[in-house]
Chains A and B, each alone.
Chain A
Amino acid sequence: MKKSMTLLLSLIFVSSALLAGCGGNNNTSTTNGEGNKTGTNTVEATNAPATEEPVSEEPFEMTIRHTQVGADKQKRLAILEDVVKKVEGDVPGLTFKLDGVESDVNRKEKLRGEMAAGNPPQVFDLFGSPDSKIYAKENKLLDLTPILEELGIKDKFSNLDPFTYEGKIYGLPIGGSGEGFFYNKEYYNSKGWKAPTTFAELEQQLADIKADGKVPLAAASKAGWVPLMLANHLWSRYAGPEVTAKFATGEAKWTDPQVVAGFAKYKDWVDKGYFKKGELGFEYAEYTTQFTSGEAILLYDGTWKSSVFKPGQSGEGLIGKVGFFNIPPVEGGVGDQTALMRDVNNGYGFSAAVANDPRQLAAVKSFIKNLFNEEMQLRGLVEDGVLPAMKIDQNVLNENITDDLMSEIVAVLNNSQSSFPAFDSLVQADVTTEISNIQIQKLIGGQTTPEKMGEALQKVQEEANAAVE
């Protein structure tokens, strides 16, 4: 009997421990629930003064989920750490816990799981489109509009569209980027060339580089987004910078002759052997290596790549030997032929639950104030090559930029009269999947024609447009 009793008690203990372990911490969901009780569709950051009661100095912790992991993001991490120190100084009792996670893992797995469970970190790395809109629709994000108005920085950002849902702002871009050609100046000088000013001149240079036995354009298309940077810019040159935004509304079609002309030009360059052979098997990392090793003379990439050409980085040997230019105007192309592809799609978002805790809300305000200001934006530009997401006076920019390559990049930005975002923030996810994973690789592999590619994309586009949410 005694033995049975012992066994029984042991089992009860084990079962209790198991069940206790399975129980969730309902604190977050409770606060979420309260947040929703307000009856509003979005959880707003109220401006109610938190000073009516004495401010508590009880220690409390908040988590920042960032993606500044790895050697090449150390400078950006240093900026974040400096901001964290300032905020901790501003808000009594606050300790920030920095949770670094690889960007794709955070975006596609961790944050989504936390959002579904209702327990995201208070501050997290967030993608603007489509992620922030999906989370905002489900009341998972803090409405930042009142905070930005209070801090007086609502109009200081160059573009908040990717983070805006139903007129409210749910996230802030940490920086921006523009896409264009990096070129090997040393090689260009040896040939007596300059950055091309016409499309014909660019094509002639590509042909001459090829004839010289060099690879004209670096290429690594294992991931579809890499070749699509250039393809996107080409179809926007031929069909106009606004064309991509019109696919989702049905005002334009992927089969439009000018769009197809963009695909055809890309295919033409593939057929002429301007890209590194075997590109469908190469990773993005090899893209940079082809250029830094001198094998490829041109590299079409985002301005973030400029950070590689700094001391201690993989492109150190090319410091002072790299230039940057925009795709020259295409003869007969539609719309602004100086338009530059620019993106501000990555930044920070905040959990909706923050609105229910005045101290956390104060911390978020301080975080925004200390991170999104001229000083930090300039640090990002100078130290890390990330273009400012906020509007900064040209004179101030000129004073701070000492790097030749960055000066060229800024000059290219200033010379472009308009900009347009990359296709993946303008079309539905199904269309992005189709063009990134299938169509662009088929075009490169010679398994489709520009016309058939347009038809295949239009079919998916129409299904996506017709889909009822």
Chain B
Amino acid sequence: MNKALRNPVVFTLFVVPALILFLMFFIYPIFSSIYYSFTSWNGVSATVKYTGFSNYTKAFGDERFWISVKNNGWFILFSVFIQVPLIVIFSLLIANVKKLKGLYKTAVFMPSIMSTAVIGILWGFIYEPNIGLFNKLLSLVGINPVYWLSDERFAMLSILITNAWQWTGFYIVMVLAAILSIPGELDEAAAIDGATRFQRATRITLPLIVPIISVVIMLSIAGAMKAADIVIVMTKGGPAGSTEVMATYMIKYAITNFKYGYGNAIAVLIFAFTLVVTVLYQVLIARRTERVEY
């Protein structure tokens, strides 16, 4: 080891810059948010009034807040049970194509590098009731126009589909990298033993990529808990608050109304809920699938 790095003082000094950044941009904002969540601060005033747990009791007693929590739940469920299986299927398909693999990878990855605002507009056209693609297709089979974004029954689903479209490609590239890193000998050995393509995919490849699928699920859950931009762009939380998620609830009911104390309480709750969900997932599921031995 380098002589200098054996010196504890030098060693500590190396750590200090990163530690300062970590404290400044992570620890301090969290504690500052927790502090303000117990106040009625309006975001401007120099004086801050302590109000105890009133912001939290207000949130827990507000029907709108629970609607937004439920919608975050829909994001998680849609990601885990619809999006992730699709990611795995597409990854396996792309991994096995012989030609134009690069083109497929680029095509599926493209939406994840596009701005959410652009995606919102793009899908706004697809969902447009009169000239949108979906309704044009439905009209071919004689179905009346569906008001995708203005009908409470379809608005949330429309957002979930758009959000999945945006991020599926990003995760496919991750899973694809894991599939392509599996030693080719395993696949070849199974083929020599007479395994079909389907059998090799489900019995060899799939078990070996479980750890990365687990990471994808974790990232999807974290992403689902902080979703906001896609909702703002597509429905603004409407119609009548039916697509509100926790982050948009925080903006609409707290920040916009000069209620920064309340807004911080919601931010703390988002943080706490995300922590609980991810810890539960880690403890109950992810740890069992952490290691794979070839």
Contact = CB atoms under 8 A, between A and B. Distances in A.
Given A3-B4, A281-B129, A281-B147, A8 B258 contact: no
Contacts of B147: 277-278, 280-281
A365 interface: no
Contacts, number: 107
Interface in B1-37: 3-4, 7, 9-10, 13-14, 16-17, 20-21, 24
B239 A441 contact: yes
Contact of B149 (A130, A135, A224, A281): A281
Given A130-B258, A134-B44, A15 B129 contact: no
Nearest to B127: A281
B46 A138 contact: yes
B17 A437 contact: no
Contact of A433 (B10, B24, B252): B252
Given A15-B16, A18-B17, A438-B240, A278 B129 contact: yes
A321 interface: no
Contacts of A11: 13-14, 16-17
B257 interface: yes
Nearest to A6: B4
B150 A279 contact: yes
A7 B17 contact: no
A334 to B, nearest CB: 29
Contact of B44 (A108, A112, A222): A112
B57 to A, nearest CB: 14
Contact of A18 (B20, B43, B129, B257): B20
Nearest to A222: B236
A71 interface: no
Contact of A280 (B44, B145, B239, B257): B239
Given A4-B10, A135-B44, A441 B240 contact: yes
B14 A430 contact: no
A48 interface: no
B148 interface: yes
Nearest to A430: B257
A138 B45 contact: yes
Nearest to B236: A222
B13 A280 contact: no
B190 interface: no
A130 B14 CA distance: 50
B257 A445 contact: no
Contacts of B130: 278
B238 A280 contact: yes
A439 to B, nearest CB: 8
Question: Which of B20, B44, B237 neighbours the largest number of chain A CB atoms within 10 Å of its CB?
Answer: B44
Given A277-B129, A433-B256, A438-B240, A7 B44 contact: no
A25 B13 CA distance: 28
Interface string A431-443: 0010001110110
A185 B129 CA distance: 28
A357 to B, nearest CB: 21
Interface string A272-290: 0000011111100000000
Contact of B257 (A140, A433, A447): A433
B235 interface: yes
Contacts of B20: 15, 18-19
A111 to B, nearest CB: 10
A278 B150 contact: yes
B152 interface: yes
A222 B43 contact: no
A222 B147 CA distance: 13
Contacts of B255: 108
A4 B9 CA distance: 10
Interface string A103-134: 00000100010011000000000000010001
B116 interface: no
A425 to B, nearest CB: 14
A291 B258 CA distance: 36
B258 A437 contact: no
Question: Which of A22, A137, A140, A281 neighbours the largest number of chain B CB atoms within 10 Å of its CB?
Answer: A281
7 contacts: A3-B3, A14-B17, A278-B129, A281-B148, A429-B256, A442-B240, A444-B239
User: What 6 pairs between A and B have smallest CB-CB spacing?
Assistant: A281-B150, A280-B150, A281-B149, A429-B257, A441-B240, A280-B239
Given A15-B17, A282-B150, A438-B64, 13 more contacts: A4-B4, A4-B10, A7-B10, A112-B258, A140-B44, A222-B236, A277-B147, A279-B150, A281-B149, A430-B253, A441-B238, A441-B239, A445-B150
Interface of A: 3-4, 7-8, 11, 14-15, 18-19, 22, 108, 112, 115-116, 130, 134-135, 137-138, 140, 222-224, 277-282, 429-430, 433, 437-439, 441-442, 444-445, 447
